[in-house]
């Protein structure tokens, strides 16, 4: 059977067609951003709607909106039923703003001008030791967030959505029983520690992050009863972290920093904990070999936006050993993340 006029079969069977699809992937990202920005998934949560009705609700051109949604439906995000009616799919559900683990904010982040411009300078990072973001904006990412509050808030929201999606998997994979007080270092808006304290009602917690982040967390967590058992503390983990924890958990923190600064954070955790304490890094562990890996793709974001790196198991062993920890075990979860457990050495 000829595949000359069958694009889907060509994509599956021919390397050139597969490569073309990879090259065109940023267009899909932008289409997802448009749908997220317009809130299309929220509009469809009660059932299918036509393009004209959707376009009228968000005040856009109906024909062009149809073209965007048709593209997304072709990759499983939304489904076109009949007569230009679109409905949610399991993938599209996570573009809703009201579901746990929503990726809407992450999709919005991926469409921001500062995000897209920085990705366009990946070659600069490859040629030099400077992050692409720094070369475009002449400052570091977190300094930028300090000066651009809306960007910082969106970043917090995006990471909260990622953490909500990962929290259940982490709690399923790792047994936190026996921990009286847990310190969430760089815990952002508190999604992970709140989930942990809810599952372990006798545990107490400390949420620790920059003072500006903690102020936003106080607002977002104001209605959480769990705050009776959780102290919110602002500070800088490059200087010190709160003492008194039985376990120190760092989700997606060390991969944001080069080895020297990651070591500073871990050494401060080591200084704050007792000899019987635990270090829990919830992070990407890059697999070896040529197998496809989201951890490898995500590592390019580290190159573009921070001085960090997604590390392999041997690299984590070296990092922990250099900060007076020894690696106990690595526990994979049902997400990209693993729990890397360390103990004082």
Cβ 119 vs Cβ 25: under 8 Å: no
Structure tokens at 215: 């102020």
From CA 267, how far away is CA 299, in angstroms rounded? 24
Cβ 91 vs Cβ 59: under 8 Å: no
Q: Between vectors from CA 167 to CA 276 and to CA 148, what angle results, nearest 5°? A: 100
- Of the candidates 91, 124, 239, 255, the residue annotated as catalytic is 255
255 annotated active-site: yes
- The b/e string for 292-305 (b: 16+ C-beta within 10 A; e otherwise) is ebebeeebebbbbb
Strand partners, 104: none
From CA 160, how far away is CA 107, in angstroms rounded? 13
Structure tokens at 229: 């058992």
Cβ 188 vs Cβ 156: under 8 Å: yes
Length of the chain in terms of residues written: 345
Residue by residue, what is the 3-state secondary structure of 42-62? HHCCCCCEEHHHHHHHHCCCH
**Residues taking part in catalysis:** 255
């Amino acid at each position: 059977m000829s595949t000359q006029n069958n694009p889907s079969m060509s994509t599956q069977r021919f390397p050139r067609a597969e490569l073309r699809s990879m090259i065109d992937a940023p267009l899909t990202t932008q289409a997802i951003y448009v749908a997220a920005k317009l809130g299309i998934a929220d509009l469809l949560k009660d059932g299918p709607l036509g393009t004209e009705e959707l376009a009228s609700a968000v005040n856009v051109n109906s024909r062009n909106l149809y073209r965007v949604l048709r593209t997304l439906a072709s990759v499983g995000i939304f489904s076109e039923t009949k007569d230009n009616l679109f409905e949610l799919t399991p993938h599209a559900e996570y573009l809703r703003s009201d579901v746990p683990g929503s990726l809407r904010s992450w999709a919005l982040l991926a469409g921001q001008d500062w995000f897209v411009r920085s990705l366009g300078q990946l070659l600069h990072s490859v040629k030099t030791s400077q992050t692409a973001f720094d070369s475009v904006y002449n400052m570091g990412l977190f300094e930028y967030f300090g000066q651009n509050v809306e960007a910082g808030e969106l970043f917090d929201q995006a990471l909260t959505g990622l953490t909500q999606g990962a929290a259940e998997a982490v709690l399923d994979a790792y047994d936190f029983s026996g921990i009286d007080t847990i310190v969430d270092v760089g815990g952002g808006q508190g999604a992970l520690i709140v989930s942990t304290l809810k599952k372990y009602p006798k545990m107490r917690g400390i949420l620790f992050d920059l003072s500006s982040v903690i102020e936003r967390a106080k607002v977002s967590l104001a209605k959480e009863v769990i705050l009776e058992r959780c102290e919110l503390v602002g500070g800088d983990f490059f200087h010190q972290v709160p003492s008194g924890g039985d376990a120190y958990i760092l989700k997606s923190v060390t991969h944001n920093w080069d080895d020297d600064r990651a070591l500073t954070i871990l050494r401060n955790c080591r200084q704050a904990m007792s000899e019987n304490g635990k270090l829990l890094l919830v992070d990407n562990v890059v697999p070896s070999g040529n197998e496809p890996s989201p951890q490898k793709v995500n590592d390019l974001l580290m190159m573009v936006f921070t001085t960090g790196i997604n590390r392999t198991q041997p690299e984590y062993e070296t990092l922990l050993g250099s900060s007076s920890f020894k690696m106990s075990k690595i526990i994979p979860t049902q997400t990209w993340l693993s729990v890397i457990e360390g103990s004082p050495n």
